[in-house]
Amino acid sequence: MMSQPPVAARKPHRVIYHGKTIEDPYYWLQDPGYPEVTDTEILAHLEAENAYFSSQMEAHQPLIDLLYEELKGRQQLDDASVPYKMGDYLYQWRFRDDAQYRIWSRAPAAEPEAMQVILDEPALAAAHDYFRLGGFSVSPDGQYLAWSSDTNGAERFTIQVKNLVTGEVLDETIEPSVGAPVWCQDNATFFYLMVNDNWRPFQVRAHRLGEPTDCDRVVYEEPDESFFVGLGETQSEQYILISTGDYVTTEMSIVPAADPEAAPRVISTRRCGHEYDVDHREGRFYIRTNDTHKNFRLVTAPEDSPEPDNWVTLIDGSDMHYLRGLMCLRNWVIVEERVNGLDQIRVMADDGGEHYVQFPEPTYYAGIGMNAEYDVNTLRLSYESMVTPHTVYDYDLTSRQLTTRKVQKIPSGYDASQYVTERLMAPARDGVQVPVSVVYKKDFVKTGQAMLYLYGYGAYGHAISPSFSTNRLSLLDRGFVFAIAHIRGGDDLGYHWYEDGKLDKRTNTFNDFVDVAQSLINQQFTSPGRIAISGASAGGELMGAAVNQAPELWGAVVAHVPFVDVLNTMLNADLPLTPIEWPEWGNPIDDPAAFEWIRSYSPYDQMTAGAYPPMLVTAGLNDPRVTYWEPAKYVAKLRHLKTDDNLLLFKTNMGAGHSGRSGRFDSLYEVAEAYAFILVTLGVHTP
């Protein structure tokens, strides 16, 4: 057993911005050849940290194994999706017993039992330590399947094409790409995205089957390095959608799916701060836009003149109703909304009538599910709550009846009546009320002595829904309270909730999280030092900031792929995500004020000598989102500054990326490791 952790060398490195000097003695951990990491000193350091992690967790292996079996025991081994109809076929994914990856099958709609495998993920993954299916698209006539896959976690995907009639995989490989290809109506051409060396989707190309891929036509290329290109299609399948933008600005173009040679036509020319998305039905475009209200309005425009001058309002912008999504069917318009933080599905009929889908619980997550067809009167929905497992509904748009198609099975058993959930409001230090979703065992009593697991994210306008998790049962059944802090930076309460946690208001996010913890302490859910906190990516940044602000509150911290070196990353315009991230965090290169406010909260820059709680930090060597050196530098600096004996562990997935190990059971094993770390460091379990 390694009794001492690795000590990273400190090497002088200094840069000056706006007259301010930044010292970074761990700068050397960034391999200059990234995304290829070959520096032997860097790799040796990461391997040493991994060895120290394994050494320290070795004594707790029985607990990890126990937790892993609990987590795995709640997974239906032969799980399968509800089949969905697309064209003449029904499509479905399924796991074979103990398989890490799905198989995809289809059957003629008239013979639903005659399922045949069209894509075998386990076979594709067999030669790789990592595998992820990125996109899946079938030609309109059902003959060809185009899919993309990633085999090392770097999120640079390879597109392949299979003839579903003959079973032949065509010799027409395309890389590096991202997302799903989109087929044209000729059944021979598809559009796809290309990424550049900096992992930015910057081009849409068209490939015609049978032609050399190096001759593929460039349909669109985005010159602005701060904009990412996206690709989709309308629900009617009449138009291919090309989107480009950053986190606050959108520009969308359309190409008729029946005329792939047509030049893209812009719906509304980009202007800073204008976001919109588009769908189509019966000769008109439907557009969700924030041009007059930050919570968006819904407009419609003629198919032949969709410019803003011709937009007609269907739903006005509202402080109460936050319009989040849109889908058009032949006879219906479906709008995803959030009202007072609660998901709502609005149904608008051709005759002008409208209603909301009624769900059975007062707090829940609900969203549009897999709806592959246009001319239907049934809507597939996804639903769950903190105590209700994931449920698939079919909703009859005419009769307004919900039909349950699938409820997540938990083979080891689950009784929802033994758990209680509530939605609380916690006062932040500036007087704002922050929503908190809480779940615990029915026999829980507030004494202030319970362990609490507090989760947060708070960035990019991404709300954390009060949804179900089989994994968290391992904590709840050990007496934990589980809480989600719906902090500013997400869009839980509307777009303003997002705006109030970004740029120069970023510290609201961190303050909200700490204040939620303090409120739960005041309400006797727990007490200082008995709280485990966890977050990933931007949520990992939250972990670093919360530790810097109130280290005495936390008994255990798990920071997955944490975005903790905010200032240095935002100062490096050559990194994959930096230019597109400036609207979220600020541009410290050109703006001295942005430099100062980022520096004032960036966890890596704000660490000081002192005591820190027990921490587990993870990274992915191939991660293009949060590069591996951010958590590596953070841990190295922590080891230099911390004055306590609390456990600090760092684990790098050497063959994976942002999401950790692939495969449903491999990923569960990493959850088991994190839970074991929490249980041990909180004193719930001793070896």
Catalytically active residues, by annotation: 537, 623, 658
Cβ(575)–Cβ(589) under 8 Å?
A: no
Peptide bond into 256 cis (omega under 30): no
Q: Give the closest residue to 623 by CA, choosing from 146, 67, 155, 8.
A: 155
Report the SS3 class of residue 97. Answer: coil
Report the SS3 class of residue 260. Answer: coil
Report how far residue 233's alpha carbon sits from residue 359's, in angstroms, rounded to the nearest whole number. Answer: 29
Given the DSSP bridges, would you call strands 531-536 and 391-396 parallel, antiparallel or unpaired?
unpaired
Report how far residue 50's alpha carbon sits from residue 56's, in angstroms, rounded to the nearest whole number. Answer: 10
Strand partners, 206: 191, 217
Find the helix or strand (DSSP H, E) in which 482 lies.
strand 481-485
Report how far residue 341's alpha carbon sits from residue 610's, in angstroms, rounded to the nearest whole number. Answer: 39
Cβ(333)–Cβ(350) under 8 Å?
A: no
Supply φ then ψ for residue 244, to 5 degrees: -145, 145
* DSSP-derived secondary structure letter, 571: T
Residue 213, Cα to own-chain centre: how many angstroms?
A: 31
Cβ(482)–Cβ(440) under 8 Å?
A: yes
How crowded is residue 301: how many other Cβ atoms within 10 Å of its Cβ? 20
Report how far residue 468's alpha carbon sits from residue 454's, in angstroms, rounded to the nearest whole number. Answer: 15
- Give Cα separations from 527 to 327, 445, 449, 480 (angstroms): 46, 14, 6, 12
Report how far residue 124's alpha carbon sits from residue 232's, in angstroms, rounded to the nearest whole number. Answer: 25
Report how far residue 217's alpha carbon sits from residue 255's, in angstroms, rounded to the nearest whole number. Answer: 14
Report the SS3 class of residue 84. Answer: strand
Report how far residue 518's alpha carbon sits from residue 455's, in angstroms, rounded to the nearest whole number. Answer: 14
Amino acid at 145: L
Q: Which residues contact 82 (CB under 8 A, 6 or more apart)?
A: 92, 370, 380, 392, 405, 406
Report how far residue 287's alpha carbon sits from residue 307's, in angstroms, rounded to the nearest whole number. Answer: 11
Strand partners, 426: 434
Strand partners, 107: 90
